Structure 1
Amino acid sequence: MPDVPALSVSSRVDVIANARIGGEGRELLAHPDVEKDGLVDLWISGGRISDIAPAGNLRHRGTVLDAEGAWVVPGLRDHHVHALQAALFQDRASIGHAAGASEAARVAASVPVEQSGRRVLVGMRHAFWSDLPTLDALDEATGEVPTYIVNADLHSIWMNSAAFRREQIAPDPSGLVSEHAAFDVANTLNDVDAADADAALERAAARSAARGLVAFSDLEMGWQTDAWRRRGAAGWNLLRVASAVYPEHLDRVVAEGLETGDRLDESGLITVGALKFVGDGSLGTRTAATTAPYLDGERGAMNFELDRLVATITRAAGSGLASTVHAIGDIAVATALDAFALAGVPGRMEHAQLVAASDIPR
């Protein structure tokens, strides 16, 4: 038998042999052996599957990957990632296991200080805690080291007094900042050296690709277009990326003539994504816009009035940009549906966790 070349992650494969087909598209395979989960060979040409035949029926050529009966399924796409935050979070301590604020504060005090002089932890879910966050409790545990505990929903951050002073924000007795104030703080936490950011993203992408992810929509806040251009120029090749833009940058996007789907790198792996609106808050932070009140009596709030949403979606569509609206509470979902209907364009909704029965058909 001829020598079989050693394969690596970057190898180009001409035939995937002895595979089983699963997932979307399997219904297109009419051969009875395939329908009975028989083994097949997949022929690859130009990065696409060009032919599928029962295993061994056609002579192999080129580089062959023997699947040994493993399943071949369509690649996975994550439609909602805050890519840089997610990458940095994988290297930061999590308090996702904490049962309450006291335990979380104790864990925070034991976390090493970053080079920036801060402690940053992630994974907070204080809506489920037996005791609530307070500024005093975190101060007592963490002292004068600026300490930040980021909610898993990204819509709130628990900070000690040293962190409030560092961010030049007046402290709240709860120690919490939420929504736009939290987004601003998160941007400072994620403002790391470009080389460190890109390395973290490469590590995260490699881990994701190993689990079957082939693409994601990056909904990271701030102007990310130039950062993705830089990564593309440096040879990014692990995953396809659609990089979203935000309404505060709409003028810039239009001025640059960018449209959804436009390439940001030579390979076409990185493209311009949708225009994203953060319509309301989140359930964990109790800021999602809901008709029924939370236990504290609040109902959350909308970040965009309907008229502004319609006008901006309409302008974006006229400039070649698709729109997507973060809408968690039932009020936000209804408002997003109204906006797309009034603008007369299709769109996408992120989350839609609470939906009124009357809005489901829409």
Structure 2
Amino acid sequence: MIQLIAGARLPGGHAAADSGTGAGGSELVDVWIGANGTIRAVTPAGSLAEFDGVRKSAATTLGAEGRVLTSGLWDEHVHLGQWAQQSSRPDFVAANSPGEALTRVAKLLAPDVHGNAPSEIIGMRLRGGDWGGLTREQLDSVSSTVPIVLVGLDLHGAWLNSAALARHGFLPDHDAHVIEDECFALLADLDRVTDETLDAAIDQAAARAAALGVVGVVDFEIRWSYEDWLRRERSGFSTLRVESAVYPEHLDRAIALGLRSGSPIGDGGRISVGPLKVITDGSLGTRTALCCDPYPDGGHGRQLVPPAELTELLSRARHAGFTAAVHAIGDRANSQALDAFEATGIAGRIEHAQLLQRRDLARFAALGVAASVQPAHLLDDVPSMRAVWADRAERAFPLASLDRSGAKIVLGSDAPVAPLDPWLAISAAVGRLPAGSDVWVPSERLSVARALQSSMRGPLRPAAGDPADLMLLDSDPLAPRKGSGPDAPPFERPSVAATLVGGTLTHLA
């Protein structure tokens, strides 16, 4: 465990120095870390030879060498097991038409240099919702014998050829497109592996996350994960802090075990029970997000949990000691979710909060409900939003409006829908600039400081008493960006030199 980080800078030093406040400026500091994993003191570099009985010369020291020290990042919305497995599968996000998707499938089916051909194709992040998807006939024209599964960008839908439909138990006359519950069951089937295989994949995914400065995640894996995390914790998993969500079908089981949000899982102090996760509507890609106004081809989306049922469920969860994380993408779904929070008084957040009515913006802060947003979805969803939400574009991903209203915003990825990469989320929140497109509603950009803070649970400038969940960066993310004009990057990603959780190194470049 690190006892001393020597010679670091705190972020925003340029601003402090210019203001003349003397709030640290660009001076170097030493950060002393206690045995309990919290910061004991932040002192001018070299000013103390000893602190609280720990001699500098004998301390386990991480030399910062002038790098920038700030709080580590959280990804507030991941499906960690799915990300660990699916991130290695072929990515179809760049396919902009049926022809491009089918060409990529054909290339994947081609035998390798040894003459070996795949027995199944599982592709991820297909943008089929943008251009109408694929038919069985189209997929069968590439192969009628090798199962082909192409999972949609948002994980709420997938396209299968006849061989895949048969393999995964669908009726012979089923359409190629499976959505919502059928798709979730399909994904669970695709991801079914041994515990050992899954845990090894999660260890690797956690190490990759730590290399990005990530210190914690909220895990929304759609399964009973309590025993999974208990097993991993007992096997020594300690790379990340993890809050593991519970779904409604498992709530009674959790209550019977005496669990509640915040209950520890294992004895290490890094893994705990998270919120109750409730999915109340679908997604934009499948046109099932529940909206007040109809889609161009009719329909308002899908209501997966009626308002009265949602209120009863959240009330029961609150009395059992749970917080809530309510999935709501469409504006009607968000209104109904806020109504349920108001009726029950449960603490928690709305996951996605993608499309909001103007009158609902102030309700987040008034009710103490956080907006848990995945800004990288904006980069992927612009084609769909232009196609079906063009008349409500100003209300999609209203980050700055939520911020001005006083709402708490927390950022995540929804990995594997988008990569587990908080820097991508920060960049998307600041720039709102999809590839090959104009800025999506520039007035809704977040500042770099706000986007960073929304990706952290600790402060931008750590101080005594804060957890030593930290990252050491090669550059200051709050420094003025280089260059100017429309071609200048809205945010410059820093390199992560080290990551610590509770004072213990989890990554060192």
With structure 1 as the length reference, what TM-score do the two structures score? 0.90
Letter in 1 for 2:48: L
Match of 1:58 in 2: 48
> Does the alignment pair 1:352 with 2:342?
no
Asked if structure 2 preserves the Cα contact closer than 8 Å seen for 1:124 and 1:150, the reply is yes
Map of 1:170-209 to 2, 5 A cutoff?
Answer: 170=171, 175-209=176-210
Match of 2:39 in 1: 49
Question: Residues 102 and 116 from structure 1, CA distance in 2 versus in 1: closer, same or farther, beyond 3 angstroms?
Answer: closer
Question: Residues 172 and 215 from structure 1, CA distance in 2 versus in 1: closer, same or farther, beyond 3 angstroms?
Answer: farther
Unaligned regions of 5+ residues in structure 2, if any?
50-55, 364-509
Measure, in 2, the Cα distance between the counterparts of 1:117 and 1:239.
35
- Percent sequence identity over matched residues? 40
Measure, in 2, the Cα distance between the counterparts of 1:111 and 1:193.
26
Map of 1:214-253 to 2, 5 A cutoff?
Answer: 214-253=215-254
1:360 aligned counterpart, secondary structure: helix
**For 1:251-279, what per-residue CA distance to the aligned partner results, in whole angstroms no more than 9, with x for missing partners?**
11111111111111110211111110001
1:149 aligned counterpart, secondary structure: strand
Q: CA deviation at 1:196?
A: 1.1
Q: CA deviation at 1:171?
A: 5.7
Match of 2:338 in 1: 337
**For 1:197-238, what per-residue CA distance to the aligned partner results, in whole angstroms no more than 9, with x for missing partners?**
111111110000011100000001021111111111111010
Measure, in 2, the Cα distance between the counterparts of 1:153 and 1:65.
41
Q: CA deviation at 1:309?
A: 0.6
Match of 2:8 in 1: 19
Measure, in 2, the Cα distance between the counterparts of 1:96 and 1:144.
25
| Superposition CA RMSD, Å | 2.2
**For 1:86-118, what per-residue CA distance to the aligned partner results, in whole angstroms no more than 9, with x for missing partners?**
111221110111111221122123336999943
Corresponding residue pairs, total: 345
Map of 1:125-136 to 2, 5 A cutoff?
Answer: 125-129=127-131, 132-136=133-137
Letter in 2 for 1:343: T
Measure, in 2, the Cα distance between the counterparts of 1:178 and 1:193.
26
Letter in 2 for 1:35: G
Question: Residues 40 and 180 from structure 1, CA distance in 2 versus in 1: closer, same or farther, beyond 3 angstroms?
Answer: same
Match of 1:291 in 2: 292
**For 1:110-166, what per-residue CA distance to the aligned partner results, in whole angstroms no more than 9, with x for missing partners?**
33699994321111122333x631111111113311111111211001111111111
Letter in 2 for 1:124: L
Asked if structure 1 preserves the Cα contact closer than 8 Å seen for 2:4 and 2:33, the reply is yes
Map of 1:95-114 to 2, 5 A cutoff?
Answer: 95-111=92-108
Asked if structure 2 preserves the Cα contact closer than 8 Å seen for 1:44 and 1:50, the reply is yes
Match of 2:165 in 1: 164
Measure, in 2, the Cα distance between the counterparts of 1:192 and 1:116.
18
1:320 aligned counterpart, secondary structure: coil
Within the candidate set 79, 82, 85, 1:82 is matched to 79
Match of 1:7 in 2: none
Measure, in 2, the Cα distance between the counterparts of 1:142 and 1:50.
63
Q: CA deviation at 1:75?
A: 1.0
Unaligned regions of 5+ residues in structure 1, if any?
1-11
Q: CA deviation at 1:344?
A: 2.4
Letter in 1 for 2:64: A
Measure, in 2, the Cα distance between the counterparts of 1:134 and 1:32.
64
Measure, in 2, the Cα distance between the counterparts of 1:57 and 1:152.
53
Q: CA deviation at 1:298?
A: 2.6
Higher relative contact order (CA 8 A, sep 6+): 2
Letter in 2 for 1:71: V
2:71 aligned counterpart, secondary structure: coil
292-301 vs 109-118, which deviates more? 109-118
Measure, in 2, the Cα distance between the counterparts of 1:346 and 1:115.
51
